[in-house]
Amino acid sequence: MKKSFNFIISGGGTGGHIYPAVAIANELKLRYPDANILFVGAKDKMEMEKVPKAGYAIKGLWISGIERKVSFKNMVFPFKLVHSLLKANSIVSKFKPDVAIGTGGFASGPTLLVCNNRGIPTLIQEQNSLPGITNKLLGKKANKICVAYDNLERFFIENRMVKTGNPVRQDLLFIHTKVEEGKTFFELDKKKKTLLVLGGSLGARKINELVESHLEFFEEQKIQVLWQCGKLYYETYAKYQNRKNVQVFAFIDRMDLAYAATDIVVSRAGASSVSELCIVGKPTIFIPSPNVAEDHQTKNAKAIVEKHGALMVKETELETFSVVLESLLKDKGKQESLSENIKVLALPNATNDIVNEIEKLIKTK
């Protein structure tokens, strides 16, 4: 077997697609220091900034999704697709990958389609309980499909699937040893309960409005809040930084310490967030975003809620939030059972298991 390999990794559009891709690349580089790794993303999406920051080269395709409503963007889509297929064909011809890996997002479509047509082994990593359009399409020809949830046989060929889970940050595996460090880092009152609110890196408008409307409630309940409002909303909510029980962040760099210091988490239900929270094991209230393809966040949350590992409040039911939170705060037994049940669902070795599957594809070439 040759020592140096070429790997193409394609995926992006959101952090939920980018983080797994970078985690897989890091593990490949660890095992094959001489490997050449090239990312392919969408030209105007966040991967064009995040991937180079992680130390990898990236090529951009002129591609985007189809909108649900009639729009000019949909009229342009066929031209974008043809352009992207030609560009992907050129990239693959020059780079000559041994294996192509797709982590979801529209850029992975043209790239892996070209690789499939050339007989290059492909692996896709599906983070959600309901696959996106691109992975549903690519799954028909993929050699291996790494999934994070059960019951995906209706979307993918069963004997090509393996349940690996989603890659997560390794520093989250030992947060139980960092509780005191976390409370000190965020200067928290050790006698009070801490609520961590996460709306994603950009932020979630409905969750931010919910927190703002409950600031007095949090004070009455003697709750201190770590509030990641997102970079799009930071200027709007930074004014609440002066309240003694609230800390407002555009982004939290030390998520390991934030999770460690926290008693209860309120979060969106993106695939990466759900996987992290399973490992963290804190009592969680999911508020899924309804504004995502095929409402997959609600399905992600339901997969945990049905196994008694979390609570869920839909955006259409936010008036019940204070009741749900207050009853959880008062029920120590419920907190403990949610924590135990969500931990059972954790798959902490996902990155290793995915790269093990990639290695099998190398050996079958």
Average pLDDT, consecutive stretches of 10 residues, N- to C-terminus, the chain (365 residues): 83 81 94 96 85 93 63 63 86 96 90 95 93 90 95 94 92 93 96 93 87 95 95 92 90 94 96 94 96 84 96 96 96 97 94 96 80
pLDDT at 267: 97
Gap between the Cα atoms of 78 and 83, Å rounded = 9
Same domain for 11 and 56, yes or no, is yes
Residue 202 lies in a domain: yes
pLDDT at 25: 96
Same domain for 190 and 339, yes or no, is yes
Same domain for 334 and 272, yes or no, is yes
Residues 106/131, Cβ–Cβ less than 8 Å:
no
pLDDT at 49: 87
Residue 219 lies in a domain: yes
pLDDT at 247: 97
Residue 1 lies in a domain: no
Residue 187 lies in a domain: yes
Same domain for 136 and 279, yes or no, is no
Residue 68 lies in a domain: yes
Here the CATH number for the domain that contains residue 246 is 3.40.50.2000
Same domain for 155 and 13, yes or no, is yes
Tell me how crowded residue 365 is: count the other CB atoms within 10 A of its CB.
12
Residue 23 lies in a domain: yes
Same domain for 96 and 190, yes or no, is no
Domain, as residue range, for 151: 6-166+348-363
pLDDT at 72: 56
Same domain for 144 and 186, yes or no, is no
Q: Angle at CA 282, nearest 5°, toward 277 and 284?
A: 75
Gap between the Cα atoms of 188 and 72, Å rounded = 50
Q: Which residue has the tokens 């690996």?
A: 164
pLDDT at 78: 67
Report which of 148, 114, 113, 153 is spatially closest to residue 134, judged by C-alpha positions: 113
Gap between the Cα atoms of 146 and 135, Å rounded = 11
Same domain for 102 and 10, yes or no, is yes
Residues 52/70, Cβ–Cβ less than 8 Å:
no
pLDDT at 33: 95
Provide the whole-model pTM: 0.84
Gap between the Cα atoms of 233 and 106, Å rounded = 27
Same domain for 113 and 204, yes or no, is no
Same domain for 192 and 124, yes or no, is no
Token duo for residue 26: 């890091």
Same domain for 263 and 311, yes or no, is yes
pLDDT at 70: 55
Domain count, the chain: 2
Gap between the Cα atoms of 122 and 132, Å rounded = 17
Same domain for 272 and 291, yes or no, is yes
